[in-house]
């Protein structure tokens, strides 16, 4: 008799546990208790953190978790199967790469933002133009690694267009992402750096010495797309739509971006 009772109790506990699991799953599918993972270029972090707070006021059941890194690093993570719902790249190359592997929903791909490339220096620096980077007083210049950091690629294009790339090779300090370039200049570890205008606007103890002409580099465009493997396609699309809204555009402009939608 005791064995029969024990078997019945265990069976009931199993049914209750299974029911709870199904309830939790149903909540996720209907928008409750959803955690969205957004893989976003490092230069977007200030604006996106602010926008997550705004979004949570009208979507309290959706939690936005960000993974900020260079676009090349994020591309590799997505290709290796990292759990990502939405990808915001600082370059078309990285988005094209994941698209070619059929990892995004092509119907959700949009060019969200534009930006500018600027030369930044410490506040007390007297440097005012790109040509002065060849001077003896400038010994270290930081840019993102061109192969993996879109800002680094644009920086290389700019310097090459100005016939400075080869001459500045001995002075270059490569960084893992554009925010590391900013940090190097803020801390005085380098004499100058090339970053996005949006990065310069949140920098401390630095100033913009010069702005690169738009014809010195490829257009700076931030594409975004929902990852095909997302468990929450509707919620991911809803957040992407919010980022493309006029409300979000106000925040992006405040941080130096140029909304394209």
Lowest mean pLDDT segment, chosen from 4-13, 169-178, 184-193: 4-13
For residue range 139-162, what is the model confidence (pLDDT) as tens digits? 999 999 999 999 999 999 999 999
pLDDT for 43 beyond 90: yes
What is the pTM (predicted TM-score) of this model? 0.84
18 assigned to some structural domain:
no
CATH code of the domain covering residue 145: 3.40.190.10
Question: What pLDDT band is residue 62 in, cutting at 50, 70 and 90?
Answer: very high
For residues 240 and 255, state if they share a domain: yes
11 assigned to some structural domain:
no
DSSP-derived secondary structure letter, 177: S
- Among residues 181, 200, 216, which one ends one of the domains? 216
Q: Mean pLDDT throughout 121-142?
A: 97
Contact between 236 and 64 under an 8 Å Cβ cutoff? The reply is: no
252 assigned to some structural domain:
yes
Contact between 176 and 149 under an 8 Å Cβ cutoff? The reply is: yes
Contact between 27 and 9 under an 8 Å Cβ cutoff? The reply is: no
For residues 128 and 210, state if they share a domain: yes
For residues 55 and 108, state if they share a domain: yes
Count of structural domains, the chain: 2
- CA 120/CA 200 separation, integer angstroms: 7
Ordered DSSP codes for 76-113: HHHHTT---SEEE-SSHHHHHHHHHTT-B-GGG-EEEE
For residues 129 and 202, state if they share a domain: yes
211 assigned to some structural domain:
yes
21 assigned to some structural domain:
no
For residue range 68-89, what is the model confidence (pLDDT) as tens digits? 999 999 999 999 999 999 999 9
For residues 78 and 201, state if they share a domain: no
For residues 212 and 129, state if they share a domain: yes
pLDDT for 258 beyond 80: yes
Average pLDDT, the chain: 91
For residue range 195-234, what is the model confidence (pLDDT) as tens digits? 999 999 999 999 999 999 999 999 999 999 999 999 999 9
For residue range 95-105, what is the model confidence (pLDDT) as tens digits? 999 999 999 99
For residues 127 and 243, state if they share a domain: no
For residues 146 and 92, state if they share a domain: no
For 193, the domain range is: 117-216
For residues 53 and 125, state if they share a domain: no
15 assigned to some structural domain:
no
For residues 76 and 131, state if they share a domain: no
133 assigned to some structural domain:
yes
7 assigned to some structural domain:
no
Other residues' Cβ atoms within 10 Å of the Cβ of residue 155: 28
DSSP-derived secondary structure letter, 191: S
Ordered DSSP codes for 116-168: -EEEEEETT----SGGGGGSTT---EEEE-TTT-HHHHHHHHHHHHTT-HHHH
């Amino acid at each position: 008799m005791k064995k029969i009772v024990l078997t019945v109790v265990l069976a009931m506990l199993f049914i209750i546990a299974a029911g709870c699991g199904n309830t939790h799953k149903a909540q996720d599918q209907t928008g409750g208790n959803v955690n969205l993972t957004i893989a976003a270029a490092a230069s977007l972090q200030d604006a996106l953190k602010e926008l997550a707070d705004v979004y949570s006021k009208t979507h309290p059941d959706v939690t936005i978790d960000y993974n900020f890194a260079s676009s090349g690093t994020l591309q590799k993570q997505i290709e290796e199967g990292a759990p990502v719902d939405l990808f915001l790249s600082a370059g078309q190359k990285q988005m094209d790469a994941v698209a070619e592997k059929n990892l995004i929903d092509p119907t959700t791909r949009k060019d969200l933002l534009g930006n500018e490339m600027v030369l930044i220096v410490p506040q007390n620096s007297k440097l005012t133009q790109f040509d002065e980077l060849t001077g003896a007083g400038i010994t270290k210049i930081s840019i993102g690694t061109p192969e993996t950091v879109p800002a680094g690629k644009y920086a290389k294009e700019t310097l090459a267009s100005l016939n400075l790339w080869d001459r500045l090779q001995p002075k270059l300090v490569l960084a893992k992402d554009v925010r590391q370039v900013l940090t190097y200049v803020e801390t005085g570890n380098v004499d100058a750096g090339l970053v996005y205008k949006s990065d310069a606007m949140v920098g401390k103890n630095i100033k913009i010495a010069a702005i690169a002409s738009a014809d010195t580099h490829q257009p700076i465009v931030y594409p975004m797309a929902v990852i095909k493997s997302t468990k929450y396609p509707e919620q991911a699309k809803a957040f992407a739509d919010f980022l493309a809204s006029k409300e979000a555009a106000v925040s992006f402009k405040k941080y130096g971006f140029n909304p394209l939608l």
